[in-house]
Amino acid sequence: MKSPKILVLRAAGTNCELETANAFAAVGGKPELVHISEIKAGKKRLMDYGVLVIPGGFSYGDDVGAGRVLANQVRHTLTDLRQFVRLGRPVLGICNGFQVLVKAGILPHSNNFDQTASFTVNDSGRFEARWVHLRLNTQSSCLFFAGLPEMVELPVAHAEGKLVVKSPRHLEELKKNKSIALQYVTEDGKLMGYPHNPNGSIFNIAGLTNPEGNVLGLMPHPERFIEIHQHPNWTRQTYRKQAVGLEIFKNAVSHAR
C-alpha cells in the first residue's frame, strides 16, 4: 500500500521538525520538510499531502506571542486548509504547532474559524520541561488515539502552555462537543493543580481535537517518545509493546492510507 506523504511545516525558529519527520518515517509515512515560504511561492501544495503536521519550537522567536506570526501566515498562506480538514485528512499540531492551530482559529472547532482560545505564560513563570501524566478523552473521536489506553505519559517542554478560553460558555462548548482530547492528571487520574498541571491550563486541558477527530493539537511532545527506552522509567514499562508517541503517529499514517 502506498505510503502517504506527510507535510512537516516549518518556519524560522521551528526546531522539532527532524524528530517529528523521523517519527512519521518510522511508521511508514513519507515526511517532507516544507518551509511555509515554499507554499507561498507555489512550489508546494498542501493538497498533495495526506497529513499536515506543525511541529514544536519557537516559530519567529514567539516575539509577539507563542505561534502568533506563524498562525497569521497559516491563515493567509494555507488557503485550502479548511478543505483539507473537511476532507478528513489528519492535522497535528505539537506544542508550538498547537499554539498555531489555536491562534489560526483551527482549534477549537468553529464554523467561521474564529479564535476563541489562546495561550499565556505558565503559572510557574518558568519553562517547564518534564514528563507528565495524561488522561485521554475516550469519549472523543480523535483518530490519533485509536487503541491507546486512557492513561498515558508524555514529556512537555514549554513556557507559554497555559490554555485560556474566551468565556466560560466556550469551555462548556468544549466539554459538550467532546473537543477536550487530553488533560493533565495525577498518576491515579485526578485533576489537580501544579505540578501535575505544568502550566495552569483551564480544566487541565493538554490538547484539543475537532468533533470529527481528524485535527489534534497538544502541548506534550509525542515525537520524543517513539522508543520505549526514551521513557525515564523504561525498564518497568514492560506492559507497553510500543511507545505511546509512536502509536499516535502510526494512527495518523494508517488513517491517511
Selected catalytic residue, list 223, 231, 247, 255 = 223
At 100-157, the pLDDT tens digits run: 999 999 999 766 678 999 999 999 999 999 999 999 998 889 999 999 999 999 999 9
pLDDT of residue 121: 97
Q: Which three cell numbers stand for residue 62?
A: 514567539
pLDDT of residue 111: 67
Domain positions in the chain are 5-256
At 171-216, the pLDDT tens digits run: 999 999 999 999 999 999 999 999 999 999 999 999 999 999 999 9
Helices (H), 17-60: 17-26, 36-40
127 C-beta neighbours (distance < 10 Å), count:
13
- The CATH class given to the 5-256 domain equals alpha beta
pLDDT of residue 109: 77
Query: Among 36-45, 193-202, 225-234, where is mean pLDDT lowest?
Result: 225-234
| Residues 180, 158: Cα–Cα separation, whole Å | 19
| Residues 109, 177: Cα–Cα separation, whole Å | 9
How remote is the C-alpha of 32 from its chain's centroid? 18
Selected catalytic residue, list 109, 133, 158, 221 = 221
16 in active site: no
Selected catalytic residue, list 16, 17, 95, 255 = 95
pLDDT band at 236 (very low <50, low <70, confident <90, very high): confident
Using the 8-state DSSP alphabet, how is residue 189 labeled? S
| Residues 146, 252: Cα–Cα separation, whole Å | 10
Angle between helices 244-256 and 17-26 (to 10 degrees): 70
221 in active site: yes
Q: Does the predicted TM-score (pTM) go above 0.85? A: yes
95 in active site: yes
Q: Is the dihedral of CA 122, 125, 131, 133 positive or negative?
A: negative
